[in-house]
Chain A
């Protein structure tokens, strides 16, 4: 399938990755080539195949208890009054 520069730009936005003009130019042709190769999958008829199942039940999960890792696990200098500072939401 053909992949356009606009599509890559949009996918970049969906993935929250800002792309430069140079990246858009390079990635569009590279991604098009990759997608063309993956199109191979469409040549096989879709049939009912049993998915590979897991042997354990989801009910066998461990208890959800918090572990005290001790010490600082967040490394950022962007802080205010003891909180981690992020970008504004609106």
Chain B
């Protein structure tokens, strides 16, 4: 099939996240989840 002429200009999701501050929110949420996971593991670990 023949290729047609087509030009696309775009912004990436990562760029938008940076500009809207969503990347920092996501980072914080990730850290929170990690902390929660560590906390859950400690609670659930059998005592010696």
Whether both chains belong to one complex is answered with no
